[in-house]
Amino acid sequence: MDALLIALADPARWRLVGLLAERPRSVGVLAQLADARQPQTTKHLQTLERAGVVTSERTGQRRVYALRADPLRELATELNRLADTVDQAGGAYEAFGRHGLSLAAERLAADEPGWADARSFKFQRSIAGSPDLVWRHLTEPALLEHWWTPDDLRISELVFEARPGGRLFLEYRDVEDLDGSDQIAGRAEGVVTAVRPGEHLAYRNSPLLPDGSHAFTAHVDLALRPSETGTELDVDFRITGSTVESADFIAGIELGFGQSLDQLAATVAASTATDTPRSTK
């Protein structure tokens, strides 16, 4: 397959494949139709033949080449398999597309410092777990690291001190970068500003630019309310101190933080299901 792809990647050879798809043709005729020199055409045809996509035979003084359909069908099957894989991963590709649109819009808007100040995002999740259980997942680092990232990232370093004035630090890597050899995806630092166990948590959090300065500051306020099915979580996410360079970070807030909260809800629900004792008869 590799040899076939390499052979077909050249525009001149691809042109010859198109001509041979119509009917077998001699080297001389192919050179004429492709508006190319015959020695070059011969070399291209030999490459295609080594890759198995064409065959040839000598007829009198001429060498005639013909296209083989089976390798092309095998390639088409493989390409269709890859396309089907993309379709099956539709959610990831949909998110990628949405983020791209947001990225373009935010970069266009980021024309001066403070451009996104006072921008706010609101999130709400109904979580199948008690406020005390949700609180633990919001404040205990061992539980935080399981959900506090978008779908394509993982936490590689985390500090969260659940007390007023407590330190907050996050380092992100790609979820598939298991050995840490890829570049760090991002870092953020901040401070916890309010703690009322089981009811209210607030903190400031700032993504770090490559030079270590703050891209912006997020003021995040989380309110928990008991409900018949578990906990209602309301989140207010407000921006101050936005820099021109913060556009790429701000573009991912709605999607990325939303994915994190979805993971929180799923993680708490799974924990609740695991901890629920089975009834006995």
Question: Residues 158-198: pLDDT tens digits?
Answer: 999 999 999 999 999 999 998 889 999 999 999 999 999 99
For the chain, what is the total number of helices (H) and then of strands (E)?
10, 10
**Statement: residue 261 has pLDDT above 90:** yes
What does the pLDDT look like over 193-221, one tens digit per residue? Answer: 999 999 999 999 999 999 999 999 999 99
Q: Which domains does the chain have, with CATH numbers?
A: 2-76 (1.10.10.10), 113-275 (3.30.530.20)
Q: What is the pLDDT of residues 226-239, one digit of tens each?
A: 999 999 999 999 99
Compute the distance between CA of residue 195 and CA of residue 189 in angstroms, rounded to an integer.
18
Specify the length of the chain in residues: 281
Residues 110-160: pLDDT tens digits?
Answer: 999 999 998 999 999 999 999 999 999 999 999 999 999 998 999 999 999
Residue by residue, DSSP assigns 26-50 as: EHHHHHHHTT--HHHHHHHHHHHHH
Q: How far is CA 138 from CA 14, 141, 201, 263, in A?
A: 57, 8, 8, 12
CA dihedral 266, 128, 252, 170 (to 10 degrees): -70
Instruction: Give this prediction's pTM.
Output: 0.76
What per-residue string of b and e applies to 178-215 under the rule 16 or more CB within 10 Å gives b? eeeeeeebbbbbbebbebeebeebbbbbbbbbeeeebb
